[in-house]
Amino acid sequence: MAEKTKKTELVRGLSLTATVMIVAGSMIGSGIFRKPSSMAQQLGSPELLIIIWIAAGLITFIGALINAEVSGMIDATGGQYVYFRKMYGDFTAYLYGWSILAVIQTGSQAAIAYAFAEYVGYFIKYPQISQHLQDFSFYLPLVGNIHPFLDFGTKAVAILCIAFLTGVNYIGVVFGGVVQTIVTYIKIISIVLISIFLLLLGNGSWSNIYTGFTMPKSDMTNMIAMIGLAFAGAFWAYDAWNSVTYVSGEVKNPRRNIPLSLLWGTLIVIAVYVLINVAYLYVLPIGEMAKSPLVAASAAEKIFGAKGASLISIAVIVSTFGALNGSILATARVPFAMAKANLFFKDLGKVHPKYGTPHVSLIVQGIWSCVLVLSGSFDTITDYVIFAAWLFYMLGAFGVFVLRKKMPDVERPYKVWGYPYTPAIFVIFSFLFLVNSVISDTSNAMMGLILIAAGLPMYLFWKYKDRGNNSVPTDV
């Protein structure tokens, strides 16, 4: 009898509410508490800071609209990996799937877990290992020196957090979805309450927000570079908006609920981010914000004194915990889909017989995320992740044009608003953003490219092994 109940397919257990919370919860993590300070330092203008947050949100929203059209057409676990197979074929799809596992989502998980551990460290003093081990490093061409054991206490807690949440999602997607929904509600409410307290009790000034567009003196080339870097910071905070597409095969009524979750989840996050940045600026002038790496804690201290930093630390711990859970839940489905397509290790396509989850894929993803925790600091990891992610966001947006030509008769429950102009704007902006990143942040852009290129030999192996006896299917 036990054999009859053995699960061989993933479970469709995620509701619209759960999928909206996956979108919003995956986006709201560490970025909104860490990036405003560096962005303020780069821009030097409160008006420009708010404009960048709104512009980055709208560009992200366009990306969500584009993905909504494709996700409504194609119902399959694996998300954009599956979409890329339909758009461009095996090579691009494989390279994307490899990049998700090698850098984009695992690197994101490493950075989020790192921020989680930093804020836990506010309450717990971590033991440190010997200075000799902390000084150990190795050189990576085009990137620089890597110090895997530097700040090891923080990194160890980050690794433990990844391991715990990997276990949660190993047990079941519905359980993971429930955790995600609860935590996301908590952190959205927390951020809104923090914003309200800052605006009502902060004794700040609206003149901090509007200064007549006073800009720091710099040449045009430097200003363009700084705006590009500020966009990178905002995009990190908005990143992972497409995570829900990876679990399409586990969503109830996916052709309706996936597009809706992308739209509503993204809009919720834009509203929350703009609100809290206005609240930050109301309490902290732009110059003071630029000198406050933990800007939310600095703002809260204005109201609550020393206890403010403790309250903010708790809010960040909850926020990063939820973002990490959402990313782990969604991302493991990409190597799972690749294995099903015979383009990756077969075991990664296994479904747990009891829990109905891609358990092997979850374990492999968790191990590599832990390795990336050791690769650098929070800012280093986020910068190379964003470069790699936007390379494929650009290809995904261009793929809408491809699918309109290749699959004109396929039913589209939702068609992207403003076609062909909105996808074209997104593609052009993505290209310019990537060029600016290569010029102004070369080492991190190279780190992203190296991790992507590392998958090429493995693609050739999987594509051509036993070529005379096996054929790779063209459909997922």
Q: Could you write out the DSSP letters of every residue in 260-276?
A: HHHHHHHHHHHHHHHHH
Q: Give me the DSSP letters along 344-386.
A: S-GGGG---TTT-S-HHHHHHHHHHHHHHHTT--HHHHHHHHH
Bigger pLDDT: 333 or 408? 408
pLDDT at 4 over 60: no
Mean pLDDT (whole number) for 33-59:
90
Q: Residue 140 is inside which H or E element, if any?
A: strand 138-140
Cis peptide bond upstream of 420, omega within 30: yes
Grade residue 1 by pLDDT with cuts at 50, 70 and 90: very low
Query: Which domains, from first to last, does the chain contain?
Result: 2-464 (1.20.1740.10)
Residue 456 neighbours by CB under 8 Å, 6+ apart:
95
**pLDDT > 90 fraction of the chain, expressed in percent and rounded:** 20
Tens-digit pLDDT profile for residues 116-170: 898 888 788 888 888 878 778 777 776 667 777 788 889 999 999 999 999 988 8
Q: Average the pLDDT over 97-101 and give the result.
A: 86
The string of pLDDT tens digits covering residues 234-253 is 998 898 777 666 666 677 87
pLDDT band at 278, cuts 50/70/90?
very high
* Residue at 357: amino acid letter: T
Q: Write phi, then psi, for 239 (nearest 5 degrees).
A: -65, 160
66 within 8 A of 423, measured Cβ to Cβ: yes
Query: What is the distance between the alpha carbons of residues 104 and 113, in angstroms, rounded to a whole number?
Result: 14
Nearest to 235 by CA among 199, 266, 194: 266
Q: Which span out of 224-238, 351-365, 422-436 was modeled with the highest average pLDDT?
A: 422-436
Average pLDDT (404-418) is: 87
Q: How far is it, in rounded angstroms, from Cα 117 to Cα 120? A: 5
Has residue 464 got a pLDDT over 50? yes
Candidate ranges 78-82, 253-257, 316-320; pick with highest mean pLDDT: 316-320
Spatial separation of the C-alpha atoms in residues 276 and 32, rounded to whole Å:
8
Closest by CA to 323, choosing from 257, 390, 239, is: 239
Q: How confident is the model at residue 429 (pLDDT cuts 50, 70, 90)?
A: very high
Give the whole-angstrom CA distance, residue 265 versus residue 248: 15
In this prediction, residues 251-263 reach a mean pLDDT of 80
Q: Can you give the pLDDT at residue 2? A: 45
44: left (phi over 0), alpha (psi -120 to 50) or beta: left
31-43 vs 46-73: helix crossing angle, rounded to 10: 130
What tokens does 84 get?
A: 């890329």
Task: Report the chain's mean pLDDT, rounded to a whole number.
Answer: 82
Spell 263-273 as b/e; 16+ CB within 10 A means b. Answer: bbbbbbbbebb
pLDDT band at 472 (very low <50, low <70, confident <90, very high): very low
Pairing of strands 138-140, 144-146: antiparallel
pLDDT band at 7 (very low <50, low <70, confident <90, very high): low
pLDDT of residue 280: 92
Provide the Cα torsion 461, 464, 469, 475; round to 10°: 100
In the three-class reduction of DSSP (H, G, I as helix; E, B as strand; rest coil), residue 40 is classed as helix
Helix (H) / strand (E) containing 310: helix 306-331
Residue 239's SS3 state is coil
CB 205 within 8 A of CB 282: yes
The label of the residue with tokens 């994307």 reads 96
Nearest to 432 by CA among 223, 142, 225: 225
In 3D space, the residue among 60, 25, 436, 54 whose CA is nearest the CA of residue 229 turns out to be 436
Which residues are bridge partners to 251 per DSSP?
14
Q: Whose structure tokens read 């461009």?
A: 88
Q: Which two tokens stand for residue 26?
A: 């995956």
Q: Find the mean pLDDT for residues 307-325.
A: 81
* pLDDT at 221 > cutoff 70: no
- pLDDT score of 52: 94
Does residue 476 register a pLDDT over 50?
no
pLDDT in tens, 436-455: 888 888 888 888 889 899 88
pLDDT, tens digit (0-9, with 9 covering 90-100), for 175-209: 666 776 787 788 788 888 888 988 888 788 888 88
| Residue 211 neighbours by CB distance under 10 Å | 14
